[in-house]
């Protein structure tokens, strides 16, 4: 990482204050993520294992907006989540996993392409560091900027898109939240795997596009055979790539579990299926980044979507730690 990169990143980030989101617990034995996550400056990237970055932008949404409020509310929820699994494993106990929050990447004024370019430039230093980036969105158009720096290397990259939709629409009048994976495939993405896609939620031409580019589509119905069967299919599809990136669009969940998204639909995954899938995939030693996008708090009910998004991040961090063991 070049010396001037952290300063450039600092100019675009506003540092958060986790103490303000983490309230006192009624149980003195509790350890919550609010106890474990610290606010860090970009210059201190090398001191953490996981770097959280908020991306409060929803200007590219096709449908209902509100995802720009996701980063703050997801953090607030995560701050109160306990850190231990039922197995007793705690990814933060004894500080085996140091988690730092770099703050929010403020989007510039301009069109969606400008925002994507801005994101690409300012997340590059994180990919160049030893920290695992965890991007908290924000809408799905940000995926292009989050992944694009990985394509600049002499390594093959695969993306797992856990999503109700394929998001590989053609770019006609500029990019949208529905175009990031076509953009990435055309920029050199080696492998694309869609997990949790719904019947009757995409166009046949986009299914054909994915298949023509060697991608794989694992429908939500595939989970009827069990999460392990889905994971086996995903791992087979990722065989041979050097690095992998995990994207979770909250609308992959059934509408009853995640009403606070741009396009809620029935027939989706349960939160338990999502958590198990994310924890397992985050354990891949090739993991280069994680994102959770399309959580729109203003559209939520009883905090269901926000809480699911926060716990998805917790499961991702737990899986990442297990993969490093």
What's the mean pLDDT when you consider all of the chain?
91
The answer to whether the bond into 79 is cis (omega within 30° of 0) is no
Helical (H) or strand (E) element with 157: strand 157-162
- Cα–Cα distance, 229 to 44 (Å, whole number): 40
46-55, pLDDT tens digit by residue?
Answer: 999 999 999 9
Q: Where on the phi/psi map is residue 240: left (φ > 0), alpha (ψ -120 to 50), or beta?
A: left
Can you spell out the DSSP letters for 242-289?
SEEEEEEEGGGB-TTT--SSSS--SS-B-HHHHHHHHHHHTT-TTEEE
List the structure tokens of 75: 């953090």
**What are the residue boundaries of the structural domains of the chain, listed by start?**
4-324
Backbone torsions φ then ψ of 216, nearest 5 degrees:
-125, 145
Of the candidates 279, 290, 281, the residue with the CA atom closest to the CA atom of residue 248: 290
Residue 93 pLDDT class (50, 70, 90 cuts) = low
Fold of the domain built from segment(s) 4-324: 3.40.800
Task: Mention every residue, 6+ apart, whose C-beta is less than 8 A from residue 98.
Answer: 47, 48, 49, 50
What are 106-154's pLDDT values in tens digits?
A: 888 889 999 999 999 999 999 999 999 999 999 999 999 999 999 999 9
What pLDDT score was predicted for residue 13? Answer: 66
Taking the complete model, does pTM exceed 0.85, yes or no?
A: yes
On the CB side of 35, how many CA atoms lie within 13 Å of its CA? 17
Q: Are strands 287-293 and 132-137 parallel, antiparallel or unpaired?
A: parallel
């Amino acid at each position: 990482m070049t010396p001037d990169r952290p300063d450039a990143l600092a100019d675009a980030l506003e540092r958060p204050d986790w103490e303000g989101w983490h309230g006192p617990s009624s149980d003195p034995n509790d350890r919550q993520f609010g106890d474990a996550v610290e606010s860090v400056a970009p210059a201190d990237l090398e001191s953490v294992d996981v770097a959280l970055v908020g991306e409060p932008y929803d200007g590219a949404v096709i449908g209902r907006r509100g995802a720009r409020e996701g980063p703050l509310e997801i953090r607030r929820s995560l701050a109160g989540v306990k850190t231990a699994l039922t197995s007793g494993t705690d990814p933060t106990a004894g500080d085996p996993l140091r988690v730092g929050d770099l703050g929010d990447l403020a989007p510039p004024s301009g069109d969606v392409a400008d925002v994507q370019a801005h994101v690409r430039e300012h997340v590059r230093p994180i990919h160049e560091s030893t920290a695992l980036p965890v991007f908290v969105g924000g809408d799905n158009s940000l995926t292009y900027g989050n992944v694009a720096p990985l394509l600049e290397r002499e390594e093959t990259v695969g993306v797992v898109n856990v999503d109700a939709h394929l998001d590989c629409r053609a770019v006609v009048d500029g990019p949208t939240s529905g175009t990031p994976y076509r953009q990435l495939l055309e920029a050199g993405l080696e492998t694309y795997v869609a997990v949790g896609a719904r019947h009757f939620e995409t166009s046949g031409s986009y299914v054909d596009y994915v298949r023509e580019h060697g991608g794989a589509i694992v429908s939500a119905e595939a989970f009827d055979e069990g999460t392990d069967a889905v994971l086996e299919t995903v791992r087979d599809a990722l065989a041979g790539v050097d690095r992998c990136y995990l994207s979770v669009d909250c609308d992959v969940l059934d509408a009853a579990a995640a009403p606070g998204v741009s396009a809620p639909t029935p027939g989706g995954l349960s939160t338990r299926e999502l958590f198990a899938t994310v924890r397992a995939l985050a354990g891949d030693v090739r993991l280069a980044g994680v994102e959770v996008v399309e959580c729109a708090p203003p559209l939520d009910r009883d905090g269901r979507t926000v809480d699911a998004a926060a716990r998805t991040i917790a499961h991702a961090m737990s899986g990442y730690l297990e993969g490093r063991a």
